[in-house]
Structure 1
Amino acid sequence: MDLNERTIKEKSIYKGKIIDLTIHDVKLPNGKESKREIVTHPGAVAVIPVTTEGKVILVNQFRKPLEKVIAEIPAGKLEKGEDPLLCAKRELEEETGMLAENWTNVGSFYTSPGFADEIIHLYLADGLTEGKENLDEDEFVERFEVTLDEAERLIETQHIHDAKTVYAIQYLRLQQLKNR
């Protein structure tokens, strides 16, 4: 069975600084028609910074859509045509003031494929040294370090409450189990 949907018509609703929104009229596999609301995003990076003591560096940040502060791994939006690794290096230093000697590409994943094309490229960073924090003028974060066990407790209490950070912590736990 062909599961593809073919776009018949596309209408731009909003073009923003971070996202664009379009409405697609589509032909379904059964021949009927439907509408799809699609958010277009340039993509992002996220970094799992691990200290020599094995702690993970997180940042507390207020997230307006949630109306609360949550703990996250450092992350940021890709600029048009930007190499994800270069973006990851920039975001790590901007948000945490740290530089990393070693970078490992963990992989990438879509955040909400039901309505958005945002993809996040995830990197593990270690061999950390102090650099210079350089937050965007509208960005306010608080850096802190946690053990893997502490990070899992933050997931349980929903202080870590975003998918990229949960994914990152579970990745670290899986690596730890593999290396036993």
Structure 2
Amino acid sequence: MQKQLHSVIRYRSSIFTLSEDRVQIENGSVVTRSIVHHNGGSAILVRKEGRVLLVRQYRYALRQDLLEIPAGKIENGEDPSATALRELEEETGWSCRQLKPILTMCSTPGFCDEQIHIFEALDLCRPLQRRPMDDDECIELQWIPLQEACAMIRDGSITDAKTIIALQYAMLNEAQC
């Protein structure tokens, strides 16, 4: 077990906080760990008639468009399932009558405490009133056959980890790949 000796916040933004921690590790050595603290996120697998709903959006950090399942950041105090429903409506215009938890993943545990909760939307429906997208979102919706999404993982067209995990879950449960 590692023991935190000291922690200093080095940076704080609306998305994450960066701390620098002095830690005593198992062999007794004292090391410095830089940790990104993030509220985490929720992501939603949406399936309908053998297809999955993906969103294409430009990711500035990578300087490219990515195909991803709908997802978003958990707000302070928000339940992950509430985040999933909110993001589903904002990004896709869809809602659902039931959310099925699939799993919680650690995105980059070597330096970040972010966890992403992946759900499956069951019993899709349209909300009475669509939530508007965030001002900084420019999203294109794409319904893609699950088999095609499987091929896109293999050929490197889909590289987002949460999306790959959700699609692999769908493929295993559809027994199509």
Q: TM-score, normalised by structure 1?
A: 0.92
Question: The residue matched to 1:50 in structure 2 has which SS?
Answer: strand
Aligned residue pairs, count: 174
Measured in 1, the distance between the counterparts of 2:51 and 2:123 equals: 12
Q: Match of 2:140? A: 142
Q: Match of 2:21? A: 24
Question: The residue matched to 2:61 in structure 1 has which SS?
Answer: coil
Gaps of at least 5 residues in structure 1 are none
Which residue identity is paired with 1:41? H
Gaps of at least 5 residues in structure 2 are none
Q: Match of 2:69? A: 73
Measured in 1, the distance between the counterparts of 2:25 and 2:136 equals: 42
Which residue identity is paired with 1:89? L
Residue 45 (str. 1) matches residue 65 (str. 2): no
Question: The residue matched to 2:100 in structure 1 has which SS?
Answer: strand
Q: CA 1:133–1:145 in 2, change beyond 3 Å: closer, same or farther?
A: farther
| CA displacement 1:104-135 (0-9 Å, x = unmatched) | 11121111111111011111003222342521
Measured in 1, the distance between the counterparts of 2:122 and 2:143 equals: 14
Q: Match of 1:104? A: 100
94-103 vs 59-68, which moves further:
94-103
Q: Match of 1:9? A: 6
Which ranges of 4 or more aligned residues in structure 1 deviate by more than 3 Å?
A: none
Identity percentage of aligned residues:
38
Which residue identity is paired with 1:57? L
Residue 126 (str. 1) matches residue 130 (str. 2): no
